[in-house]
Amino acid sequence: MSKLKHEKTIIRHGSDILSCKGMKTEKKCIQHGTFSVYDHSLYVTSMCLTISKKLHLRVNERSLVRGALLHDFFLYDWHEPTKANRIHGFTHPGIALRNAEKVFKLNKIEKNMIKRHMFPLTPVPPRYKESAVLCVADKICATFETVDGFKTKIKKKIRRVGSNA
């Protein structure tokens, strides 16, 4: 089985995040199709690193990994048909940031990444390169997560990281 791209880098910068209690909740919450929020977050983090390397961007690699891993740290099932969940797309970045700040000390790049990752749905644009990369990676991954043949392959790689972290 080949590895998830950038697996070592993700574990080096984010092993404390991967093993935290909130991530156990993320494993139980579905994001898209059969992808849990945890699977999605790992996939997005890997995609962020791929994009930044392909474009030769000078990024803060540690912040890129940590902000991406925590970008959807909202910790509830957004598919439940509640009034609050109807506006999940707009509200979850703020909720994720509040939750993440309770557990981890975040720098300004990581905070901005989490808070602005839904741009342009939420109108304030990202401030840093890392936040912009996350915006793009999140949308690419969300699209691939719904494509059948692809999602099985990437999910196997993601599950492997979970057991190595």
Question: For binding to Fe ion (CB under 5 A), which residues are involved?
Answer: 72, 138
Residue closer to Fe ion by CB (options 7, 138) is 138
Shortest distance in whole angstroms from residue 41 CB to Fe ion: 7
Contact 130, 113 (CB under 8 A): yes
Residue closer to Fe ion by CB (options 39, 138) is 138
Residue closer to Fe ion by CB (options 56, 87) is 87
Residue 163, Cβ neighbours under 10 Å: how many? 6
- CB half-sphere exposure, 163, CA atoms < 13 A: 6
Shortest distance in whole angstroms from residue 111 CB to Fe ion: 15
Shortest distance in whole angstroms from residue 26 CB to Fe ion: 11
Whose tokens are 């599950």? That residue is 159
Q: Measured between alpha carbons, how far is residue 10 from residues 4, 16, 48, 112 in Å?
A: 10, 11, 11, 19
Cβ-Cβ contacts under 8 Å for 52 (sequence gap 6 or more): 59, 61, 64, 129, 130, 133
Shortest distance in whole angstroms from residue 99 CB to Fe ion: 13
Interatomic CA distance for residues 95 and 114, integer angstroms: 9
Residue closer to Fe ion by CB (options 94, 162) is 94
Residue 148, Cβ neighbours under 10 Å: how many? 8
Residue closer to Fe ion by CB (options 58, 112) is 112
Q: What are phi and psi of 94, to 5 degrees?
A: -65, -40
Shortest distance in whole angstroms from residue 96 CB to Fe ion: 7
